[in-house]
C-alpha cells in the first residue's frame, strides 16, 4: 500500500481532520501534524493577506518530496496539502501529517516533510502589506536566480533579475 495518501494543491480551505484521517494506520503509534497559518506580520511589516501562486509542476514536485520522505523514514502515512489563491490572516496555508510506529520518527519525518516542501516545491507568495504595498517572497526555486521582490512571469514562475 502506498504511504502517500494525500499530496495536493488546492484553491479551497484546508482540513486538518482530512489530513489526520488520510494518514491513519493501525500500526501508527504516533502522528505528527504541522499547520502553517497566515500571520499578520513579516519582517517587521504588517500583512493583511497573502496570495499563493504555483508553477504547473508544483503538485508533481510535492509528490516527489513526499516520496523522498517516505523512502528515508519509517512511516505508515503521509499527507501534504498546500493552499493556492488569496488567503486572509488566520487561514491555513499548508497542512502536513505523518504517521509512524513511534512518536520520535513521526516528529522527525513531519519536520523533514515541511522543510523539504518549503525548499523544493515551486509555490510563491505575494504579501499584501498593511502599508498598502505588496511584495513577493519565497520566490527562489531550483536555482532560478530569483530574488525577493521579483514577480512571476506569464507562466507563474518568478522571473530572474537582469
pLDDT of residue 74: 98
Measured CA to CA, the distance from residue 113 to residue 108 in angstroms comes to 9
Q: How many CB atoms lie within 10 A of CB 8?
A: 12
CB 36 within 8 A of CB 78: no
pLDDT of residue 157: 47
pLDDT of residue 162: 27
Please return the burial class of 30, using the count of CB atoms within 10 Å of its CB with bins 0-12, 13-18 and 19+.
middle
How does pLDDT run along the chain (162 residues), one tens digit per residue?
599 999 999 999 999 999 999 999 999 999 999 999 999 999 999 999 999 999 999 999 999 999 999 999 999 999 999 999 999 999 999 999 999 999 999 999 999 999 999 999 999 999 999 999 999 986 654 334 333 444 455 444 444 332
pLDDT of residue 52: 97
Cell 514577480 sits on residue = 151
- pTM for this model (two decimals): 0.85
User: What is the DSSP secondary-structure string of 62-120?
Assistant: HHHHHHHHHHHS--SEEEEEEE-EEEETT-EEEEEEEEESSHHHHHHHHHHHHHHHHHH
Amino acid at each position: 500500500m502506498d504511504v502517500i495518501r494525500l499530496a495536493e494543491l488546492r484553491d479551497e480551505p484546508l482540513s486538518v481532520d482530512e489530513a489526520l484521517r488520510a494518514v491513519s494506520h493501525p500500526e501508527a503509534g504516533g502522528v505528527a501534524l504541522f499547520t502553517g497559518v497566515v500571520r499578520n506580520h513579516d519582517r517587521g511589516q504588517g500583512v493583511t493577506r497573502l496570495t499563493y501562486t504555483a508553477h504547473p509542476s508544483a503538485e508533481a514536485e510535492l509528490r516527489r518530496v513526499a516520496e523522498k520522505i517516505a523512502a528515508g523514514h519509517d512511516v505508515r502515512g503521509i499527507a501534504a496539502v498546500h493552499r493556492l489563491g488569496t488567503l486572509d490572516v488566520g487561514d491555513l496555508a499548508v497542512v502536513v501529517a505523518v504517521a509512524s510506529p513511534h512518536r520520535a520518527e513521526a516528529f522527525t519525518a513531519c519536520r523533514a516533510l515541511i522543510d523539504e516542501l518549503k525548499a523544493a516545491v515551486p509555490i510563491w507568495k505575494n504579501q499584501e502589506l498593511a502599508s498598502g504595498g505588496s511584495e513577493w517572497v519565497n520566490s527562489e526555486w531550483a536555482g532560478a536566480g530569483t530574488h525577493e521582490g521579483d514577480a512571476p512571469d506569464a507562466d507563474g514562475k518568478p522571473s530572474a533579475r537582469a
